[in-house]
Amino acid sequence: MGAEVVRVESGDVRGVVRGDLRVFQGIPYAAPPRGELRWAAPAGVEPWRGTRDATRPGSPCPQVGSSYSDTRSTDEECLFLNVTAPRSGTGKPVLVWIHGDGAIGAGHHFDAARLVERGDVVVVTVNYRMGVFGGFGLPGLEGSGAFGLMDQRAALEWVRRNAAAFGGDPGNVTLFGVSFGATAVAAHLVSEQSRGLFHRAVMHSAFTLVDVPAGAWFPDLGALPSLAWRPVEELEALGAAVARELGAEDLDALRRLPAEELLDHPRVMNVFQAFGHGGAVLPRPPGDALAAGDFARVPVLAGATRDEHRGFVALFRELAGRPVTAEQYPELLATAFGADAPAVEAEYPLSEHPSASVAWATVLTDRVWARATIRQHRLLAAHTPVYAFEFADRDAPSDFSVPSLPMGASHSSDVDYLFPTAEFDARLTAGQRELSDVMVDQWTRFARTGDPNGEGLPEWRPFGDGEFVNSFAPGAVRGVDYSAEHRLAFWASR
């Protein structure tokens, strides 16, 4: 393993050479968003003298961790990105990855080696402000609800200015992400301020059009019209209430509070997890913009997993000590669907499923995820090429083990097939490893040309060709009747 120095706009950075790869970590793309820059648009980086070490990740943005992540950070000097590039060559496609969750995570958690080695591309992974630091609102505060999106846009602008230094083509950038990261991709598709900064888009399990019936996400949580978006006015009212609870009389006082005091407030991370619409970044709800055809006309590759909601039922019910029982199943359906509950139970009887947890997760996968995903595809495909996928490896490795609820192809289980670590790769069968290679090949082919098809690769027709959805499972990459598989005719009026 050796070292290499590259010149970027703010100075020299030293990364590491690993075989045919170069890896640079912890490169600042914006100034630390603290003090007066807390809850402000990202500012430029101060140039440095000498050579900056880029062999280790920078700090994650402030976060408290969760039941599925033990990462905690209070460091607001966190607007870093990481670049993995081939050792030589120029003009290569650039892929910019936006991680998911919206309250926890960091770009360096994703190992881009397989994408870069097989795809001959440059991959950039990004940290951005989250939770109370990324989505906070306050009356009169410019940018309320959009600071995380502004960070991501600043990273894209940095890529446009600096990609060539790593052998990348700034005129061929693919923005891709998972979960809240995919939802952010949708936000950039509809935001005029982001247009021209990327040329293709990839979305894994986006929340763009997802609404949630009562009790479907967390037990005892009411119905949510959206998981992804909130009006700026609502975020500003919530921010004013939080400021009062913290005893801060104005914005300056809020900016003086230690990061840990904000993080430890009992509800700020989840309350401000959504993106705000009604401001300059997102003037109207992104779903409305998609329906009107008001979005960047770039090729899109998008999809979801076969068993999206199983992981959420595992986390928020089974592993939280509130398992779904056969006795509860009708009650859950009644809470979620009201007068439609008997019809839903008839369509998804317990007798068809190995457990009540699987039945409940199947209902929610179809109603919450598949219905929203197919509508997303239809709105996009009316104006631009769309390549739709479903990840369907029901034996995908999982970090969760719940006897009553096999994880199947659960939410984000596809992502490790694009970003496999050595440890993950060791858990794969030969067929799963081949699936990973096919996905990497087709995703990077899409990044290169806007079309995932190529010699030796499975045929992938556009969604507009008979609503074609390509299913990805070991030894079985082929078209699937997505609407029939997820009973979308049943859900069309519910």
Query: Which residues are annotated as catalytic?
Result: 179
Token match 């947890």: residue?
357
Pairing of strands 469-472, 386-391: parallel
Contacts of 288 (CB under 8 A, 6+ apart): none
- Helices 329-337 & 356-364, crossing angle to 10 degrees? 20
Structure-block tokens of residue 245? 């609870």
Instruction: Tell me the C-alpha distance between 297 and 380, whole Å.
Output: 9
- Measured from the Cβ of residue 265, the count of other Cβ atoms closer than 10 Å reads 15
Nearest to 62 by CA among 110, 16, 2, 102: 102
Instruction: Tell me the C-alpha distance between 55 and 4, whole Å.
Output: 10
Task: Please list the residues that pair with 13 across neighbouring strands.
Answer: 6, 52
Rounded to 5 degrees, what are φ and ψ at 271? Answer: -60, -40
Contacts of 37 (CB under 8 A, 6+ apart): 31, 43
The helix/strand count (H/E) of the chain reads as 19, 15
Task: Please list the residues that pair with 73 across neighbouring strands.
Answer: 63
Instruction: Tell me the C-alpha distance between 312 and 314, whole Å.
Output: 5
Instruction: Tell me the C-alpha distance between 418 and 147, whole Å.
Output: 28
Contacts of 484 (CB under 8 A, 6+ apart): none
3-state secondary structure labels for all residues of 155-200: HHHHHHHHHHHHCEEEEEEEEEEECHHHHHHHHHHHCHHHCCCCCE
DSSP state of 58: P
Instruction: Tell me the C-alpha distance between 214 and 364, whole Å.
Output: 11
Q: In this structure, are residues 408 and 310 in contact, taking their beta carbons and an 8 Å threshold?
A: yes
Token match 């479903």: residue?
390
Rounded to 5 degrees, what are φ and ψ at 109? Answer: -70, -10
